[in-house]
Amino acid sequence: MAAGPDTSPPAGFTSSSAEGRQRTLRHLLSETPTFFKSPRQVNSASTTLSRNVFDKRLFIRPQSCTAENRRKALTASYPVSGTHSPMSRPRTSFSPRTPSERDRCATDSDSTARRPRTYRSYTASPLVSESQQDLTRHVTEAWSRVRRESLRRRMSRMTPEQRDSFRLLHNPAFQAARCVAVWKRARERCTHSRQNWREGDKAGIARFHHAARLVILVHRLRVAMTTLSRDRTVPTAAEMRFHTLHHDERVLAFNKDMYARRTEATMRLPRWATDIMGKPPRWRSEQECRRLHALLRCLKAFRVFSPRIQAIMCRSILYQFIEAERVVLRKGHHGSGFYFVYSGSVFVNAEDKNQATGEAFMRTEAVLGRGDSFGEIALLRGCPRTASVTVREPCELLIVDDKIFAEVCPKIFDAELDERVKFLRQVPLFAHRYWPPEALRQLCIETQMQEFKSDHIIVDDSEEDEWIYVCAEGQCKVLKSLVLEKESLTRPASPRGDPPSDVDTRRVSFAVHDDVIEDDDDVFHDEDQDSEEEEEATIDRSESMRSKSERMLRSIRGDHAEDNDQDPQASMDVFTVEVDDGSHDVSRAGRQRRPPEELDMTLRSLIEAQLRQRRKNDVVYVEIGILKRGDIFGLQETVGVSDSGPLILMSFGIGTRIYRLKRTNFRDLASEEATEHAKLLGYEKKYPSAEALLIALQEQSKWDVYKQTVVEEVLRHHRRPDRFPLRSPTEEKLRSRKVNRLVSTLSRCSDDILGLPGNAENTRKITEPIDAPSDDREREDIRRARKFDTPIVMRPKTMVARCGSMLARAGTGHTLNSGKISPHQRLVRQRVSAISSTSSDSSEAANGV
Ligand SMILES: Nc1ncnc2c1ncn2[C@@H]1O[C@@H]2COP(=O)(O)O[C@H]2[C@H]1O
């Protein structure tokens, strides 16, 4: 193995200086062109070898190192090819293997006092390998050994404190943090002064390179750790089943999920969003945060936080893409983040015990998908993770830092709690006398604030709902659904038998402009709240005002089941009605049918859904009240004084902001006195019963029919055959248009002419949406209608006067009146209803109702 003695060493080797050695090495390496492709490589290799190997570890006896000799020795010792080539497993320090080697070792060991070891190392060490990679690997190994040793030596000389700080300095995570800091500083310098950067902040660049290397190192470490973590996690049965079915190479059965359309689950975050989330918080601009906020509001779990908390989260939220089967967090570990699932899905695995054997095993508790969140328990309770979470399908997670989540959010939550208490205190229901501060605060913990844009159905069935609503800003309408036969209200009771055209017209007119619905719930939704947690929540409630985070957690987990139990049905006809007792003005509604999804719907969507499904029995929705700031909805149902049946709550105008309180909490926390007080308030603000509304609606319908009849009567003479029939077709056409125009205008103005008691204002409101149609066809219709009607619409006063005089001429006895109903009109209405009830049509209608 050892090279034979050489008598003619090259000049460089006689020198023991570092420079001489390097020169020799360069020379040596340049003669092996297969290994090094360029002079630069030769230079760098020689430098590395000289510094790391020669100088520190493998000091070569110069006399024996001629180029020729060395080549001979190496080729003799290590054949270039062959399966047993030591190059494949380089031996960097010599350790005797064969007996002859051992013998030689023994002999040499006698003279190790000087430097036989290094000599042996030289002879055995494959300093020049058959490939560059081998050489590099060898050198790297040698170098790392040298470093380790020197490190050990240095540390042995240190005090314990020094050792600790030294360890910290060499901790990969710490180094990574330093790298990032260096990188940031370098970038900052770069942005602040490009000139400086260019002119060569050489040290900065060097540091940057160093940082990059460290980042690579840390990344490798992380990969190794995650692989290890995955390998050590025993998959649950559900996980195994899922992955077996979903892995292409192991498809056992036909899995329809693989062919299903999965737009939701596979909806990925746009590039701009990941770019924003890749920036440090202070680099994110206001606009970027707002953009991110608008995007994340589509996530159910995100929406339940208040806008302020959402904004704070957007400032610091991070993005992470995780492959399938990876472990996101492990049970018992320290919690360091709160997660939203943007796409993909995860398994939540909890520990369980086999009843028979007592063995512990992991069981899949839940599968969370897009819009869900996890990881809040450990952060808010300060306990270890309560479950493990592994990735089911490749997943995009959004991570909120534990500091933000556990410190900032509860503070904001507390401030909002104070706000809620302050607001509710102003509402008569929660007067100090009935609700002591502690009870009110307790009630507010699970109170949520929601925001709705215009025409959003907030509650679709007040009897089934679990909440009491207190209007904080804006206005809401209270609607009531009445089931009736379509014919009863749409067929005219006029003796002439001409069907009125107003139902369809109004239906179109009520197809209000479309609104994108966005709401802000304040609290987490948790559908999987089990009885244990509820029990826990009750106990917590009794321990008044624990920690902020605990309260927040309770609030977060308190309500997930909302809004999901909607029964899609019902349709709505457009009607304007009046309740005779005058206590509740009523009005109109839109023909609706509830979409199957859920409460996230506008009036328009309801109307469209209804129009798709024609049914004999329709539901007419009638407005029976308006909720303003401080008004309450759902109180009667909570205290059991409601007899008005299911009601509907809908936002309108510029939208609304409401607080909602859990009915169960209200009942639990209200004292007897408070309950009595609530009952009293409930009685005071009772809505009319279904019967009263039906009667009012019927009367209204008759009134509409009567108006139609009057208009028809007035215009009859216009439709008489012409005395001079010799008109041109164009003239005929114009004439018929004129008549039609008059009819349509009169129909629309008839409310003003004949008077719609107390509802003139409301009538105007109904017709408003006509001016703001949403879809093109509708817009086109209205444009055409407008064009058609222009001369009349432009001069309403004249038109009304004309209609009034026409009506007077027709001998109806009505005078012009656009305000309240006069006693005379009331009389007319009674007469009309008497007439219509005798006619067969109207009696049919009455029976139907
Ligand atoms: N039964 C469950 N259903 C849904 N999610 C759960 C369940 N148990 C635990 N988790 C979530 O899994 C998370 C594990 O970490 P945490 O304990 O911080 O918070 C936990 C919850 O967010």
Instruction: Give the angle subtended at the CA of 27 by the CAs of 24 and 29, to the nearest 5°.
Output: 110
Distance, C-alpha 24 to centroid of its chain:
67
Of the given ranges (100-104, 243-247, 539-543, 574-578), which has the lowest mean pLDDT? 574-578
Per-residue pLDDT, averaged over 16-25, amounts to: 62
Q: Is the CB of 722 under 6 A from ligand 1?
A: no
* pLDDT tier at 297, thresholds 50, 70, 90: confident
Which residue has a Cα nearest atom 16 of ligand 1?
375
Torsion over CA of 401, 402, 406 and 411, rounded to 10 degrees?
-30
Question: Mind listing the pLDDT tens digit for each residue in 592-647?
Answer: 334 333 445 666 666 566 666 655 556 677 788 888 888 999 888 888 888 778 88
pLDDT at 787: 54
Using an 8 Å Cβ cutoff, are 362 and 323 in contact? Answer: no
Test site for ligand 1: of 336, 338, 377, 528, most ligand atoms within 8 A of the Cβ = 377
pLDDT at 349: 92
Which residue has a Cα nearest atom 8 of ligand 1?
387
* pLDDT tier at 248, thresholds 50, 70, 90: low
* pLDDT tier at 848, thresholds 50, 70, 90: very low
* pLDDT tier at 277, thresholds 50, 70, 90: very high
pLDDT at 396: 93
Task: Take residue 391 and report the two structure tokens written for it.
Answer: 């990735």
Which residue has a Cα nearest atom 9 of ligand 1?
387
For ligand 1, the distance from its centroid to the CA atom of residue 385, given in whole angstroms, is 8
> Which ligand 1 atom is nearest residue 379's CA?
18
Q: Is the CB of 806 under 6 A from ligand 1?
A: no
3-state SS, residue 617? strand
Q: Is the CB of 365 under 6 A from ligand 1?
A: yes
Q: Is the CB of 378 under 6 A from ligand 1?
A: yes
Test site for ligand 1: of 338, 346, 348, 536, most ligand atoms within 8 A of the Cβ = 348
Question: Mind listing the pLDDT tens digit for each residue in 74-113?
Answer: 444 333 333 333 333 333 334 444 444 444 443 333 333 3
The share of the chain scoring above pLDDT 70, in percent, equals: 43
The C-alpha atoms of residue 413 and residue 410 are separated, in whole angstroms, by 5
* pLDDT tier at 692, thresholds 50, 70, 90: confident
The C-alpha atoms of residue 220 and residue 235 are separated, in whole angstroms, by 24
Of 135-139, 166-170, 549-553, 797-801, highest mean pLDDT: 166-170
Q: Is the CB of 335 under 6 A from ligand 1?
A: yes
Which residue has a Cα nearest atom 6 of ligand 1?
348
> Which ligand 1 atom is nearest residue 350's CA?
8
Burial 355-379 (b: 16+ CB within 10 A, else e): eeeeeeebebbbebbbbbbbbbbbb
Q: Is the CB of 385 under 6 A from ligand 1?
A: yes
The C-alpha atoms of residue 566 and residue 461 are separated, in whole angstroms, by 8
* pLDDT tier at 314, thresholds 50, 70, 90: very high
For ligand 1, the distance from its centroid to the CA atom of residue 340, given in whole angstroms, is 12
Q: Is the CB of 372 under 6 A from ligand 1?
A: no
Per-residue pLDDT, averaged over 563-573, amounts to: 35
> Which ligand 1 atom is nearest residue 528's CA?
3
Q: Is the CB of 389 under 6 A from ligand 1?
A: yes
Using an 8 Å Cβ cutoff, are 757 and 820 in contact? Answer: yes
Residue 814 scores a pLDDT above 60: no
CA atoms within 13 A on the CB side of 82: 9
Residue 251 scores a pLDDT above 50: yes
Q: Choose between 515 and 544: higher pLDDT.
A: 544
pLDDT at 231: 76
Residue 274 scores a pLDDT above 50: yes
Q: Is the CB of 387 under 6 A from ligand 1?
A: yes
For ligand 1, the distance from its centroid to the CA atom of residue 348, given in whole angstroms, is 7
Residue 234 scores a pLDDT above 50: yes
Q: Is the CB of 375 under 6 A from ligand 1?
A: yes
Question: Mind listing the pLDDT tens digit for each residue in 407-460?
Answer: 777 777 788 888 888 899 888 889 888 888 888 888 888 787 777 877 788 887
pLDDT at 32: 46
Helix axes 172-192, 160-169, angle to 10 degrees: 60
pLDDT at 745: 61
* pLDDT tier at 398, thresholds 50, 70, 90: very high
Number of H helices, E strands in the chain: 35, 12
Which residue has a Cα nearest atom 19 of ligand 1?
375
Cβ-in-10-Å burial (0-12, 13-18, 19+) of 242 comes to buried
Alpha-carbon dihedral sign for residues 368, 372, 375, 376 = negative
Query: Which residue matches tokens 């899949």?
Result: 364
- Residue 275's nearest CA partner among 319, 328, 338 is 319
Using an 8 Å Cβ cutoff, are 711 and 503 in contact? Answer: no
Residue 23 scores a pLDDT above 50: yes
Residue 175 scores a pLDDT above 80: no
pLDDT at 817: 39
For ligand 1, the distance from its centroid to the CA atom of residue 383, given in whole angstroms, is 12
For ligand 1, the distance from its centroid to the CA atom of residue 533, given in whole angstroms, is 12
* pLDDT tier at 172, thresholds 50, 70, 90: low
Q: How far is CA 740 from each of CA 115, 149, 230, 715, rounded to the nearest angstrom?
A: 119, 104, 78, 10
- Residue 452's nearest CA partner among 395, 396, 517 is 517
Q: Is the CB of 337 under 6 A from ligand 1?
A: no
Give 375's DSSP letter. -
Per-residue pLDDT, averaged over 265-287, amounts to: 86
Residue 218 scores a pLDDT above 60: yes
- Residue 646's nearest CA partner among 670, 619, 673 is 619
Residue 346 scores a pLDDT above 90: yes
Of the given ranges (698-707, 746-755, 766-775), which has the lowest mean pLDDT? 766-775
What residues contact 485, with CB distance under 8 A and at least 6 apart?
616, 617, 618, 848, 849
The C-alpha atoms of residue 671 and residue 57 are separated, in whole angstroms, by 85
The average confidence (pLDDT) of the chain is 64
What residues contact 571, with CB distance under 8 A and at least 6 apart?
591, 592, 593, 610, 613, 615, 618, 619
For ligand 1, the distance from its centroid to the CA atom of residue 304, given in whole angstroms, is 17
Test site for ligand 1: of 339, 346, 374, 390, most ligand atoms within 8 A of the Cβ = 374
pLDDT at 82: 35
Query: Which residue matches tokens 């609607």?
Result: 479
